[in-house]
Amino acid sequence: MPQKSFKVTARARYGDKYFRAALFEDRPFEEYKSFVLRVSGNDCVWTRMADGIQSRLVDKIADTTVVHQAWRPVIVYLNGQYWGHYNLRERVSRYFVAQHEGMTLEEADSITILEANSKAYYGSNAEYKALLEKAKKMSPGTNPEDMQYLEDNIDIDNYFDYMIFEAFFANSDTGNIRYYKVPGGKWRWILFDMDYGLFKSSFNGIGNVLHPKGTGINNAIDNTLIRKILENKDMQHRFLTRFGEIFQQLTTDVMLQQLQECYDLLAPEMMMHFDRWAPLNLKSISSEQPTTVDGCLRYWDTRVERMRDTMRKRPTYCYDQVKAWFKLSDAEMTGYFGPRPDFAPGATTD
């Protein structure tokens, strides 16, 4: 789209190597190496806040260790010219990880970050690739030593939470992922790029992350580790117990309230934003996207309502998908997740 995202980085030669400001009221940090002004990725022509909403929802799971970017809608001017609505985000980098892991920014160079299928984002991928290749030959379901090796190298609670969020939010584009290791620590995952989360209520999130051939588009991302861990019955019980805990916190009411809070922040600015950008919308990118201000406002409200509808139905679909995937009885499912939720009032019929 014509409106582009920006990565903003502090440079010592321009006065200071850090931005010394509390950019986000829900984060304790007062200095940043960089930040992102994001148009919302794939969602830039839809709600413009899907990724941010999901980040805010993860904030509600107080005991999770899955780090994720703070979200704050802002208005941008470039050289005095109005540039419209942007999403201010923490930038996922070694500095981001250092802050969230309680390290100083000066210690960030010691962190390893990988992306996608073990590709080095910062540091070396050798250790993780060795772990992955060894795991492929393991039998953690029957060999306690194999299971212990995985526990020694992977933060299981963190990994479970990450996979649960991906499955619950039904993210259909799980290829753009980040995971990391600090010195002396275990591998942990970052919730990142959720533009296709809460997009389609019936998408089989658990089937996607646990597919035998891999996860994501064309099953392109290796998911050996989670599948191997869940071969162990004790681990499967632990995973389902945690899934149920998160599931019962992210109710339709909670999700709708969070969406409304985010909507109320964006709505007053949307007329001016579309006045700036509507005439430049490219039909080659989104044939549905109008090129008039009124048309864009109506379309934006339509897409927001579509997300509301997803939230009204997603818990029901998620419940049924988990039950089917793990072949659980009604009693087992109730024990883990509580009673099966019906579609919430106002949901459309699929």
Dihedrals phi, psi of 89, to nearest 5 degrees: -135, 150
SS3 122: strand
Residue 284 confidence (pLDDT): 63
User: What confidence tens digit (pLDDT) does each residue in 275-304 have?
Assistant: 999 999 876 667 788 999 999 999 999 999
Residue 37 confidence (pLDDT): 99
Each residue of 88-112: b (16+ CB within 10 Å) or e? bbbbbbbbbbbbbbebebeebeebb
Residue 93 confidence (pLDDT): 98
Residue 30 confidence (pLDDT): 98
Residue 289 confidence (pLDDT): 83
Unique residue bearing structure tokens 């949901």: 347
Across 64-73, average pLDDT: 98
User: What confidence tens digit (pLDDT) does each residue in 131-148 have?
Assistant: 999 999 999 999 999 999
Unique residue bearing structure tokens 């996922």: 92
User: Residue 127 pLDDT > 70, yes or no?
Assistant: yes
**Quick one: angle between helices 233-249 and 293-325, nearest 10?**
140
The pLDDT-based confidence of 228 (bands split at 50, 70, 90) is very high
Task: Please give the structure tokens belonging to residue 233.
Answer: 């019955």
Residue 190 confidence (pLDDT): 99
Each residue of 187-219: b (16+ CB within 10 Å) or e? bbbbbbbbbbbbbbbebbbbebbbeeebbbeee
User: Residue 242 pLDDT > 70, yes or no?
Assistant: yes
Mean pLDDT score of the chain: 97
User: What confidence tens digit (pLDDT) does each residue in 72-109 have?
Assistant: 999 999 999 999 999 999 999 999 999 999 999 999 99
User: What confidence tens digit (pLDDT) does each residue in 155-167 have?
Assistant: 999 999 999 999 9
* pTM, rounded to two decimals: 0.97
The pLDDT-based confidence of 59 (bands split at 50, 70, 90) is very high
User: What confidence tens digit (pLDDT) does each residue in 44-54 have?
Assistant: 999 999 999 99
Instruction: Please tell me the distance from the alpha carbon of residue 127 to that of residue 182, in angstroms, as a whole number.
Output: 12
Instruction: Please tell me the distance from the alpha carbon of residue 44 to that of residue 145, in angstroms, as a whole number.
Output: 47
Instruction: Please tell me the distance from the alpha carbon of residue 191 to that of residue 208, in angstroms, as a whole number.
Output: 16
Q: Among residues of the chain, what percentage have pLDDT more than 90?
A: 95
The pLDDT-based confidence of 225 (bands split at 50, 70, 90) is very high
Residue 2 confidence (pLDDT): 85
User: What confidence tens digit (pLDDT) does each residue in 175-223 have?
Assistant: 899 999 999 999 999 999 999 999 999 999 999 999 999 999 999 999 9
Task: Please give the structure tokens belonging to residue 147.
Answer: 């299971």
SS3 27: coil
Residue 287 confidence (pLDDT): 75
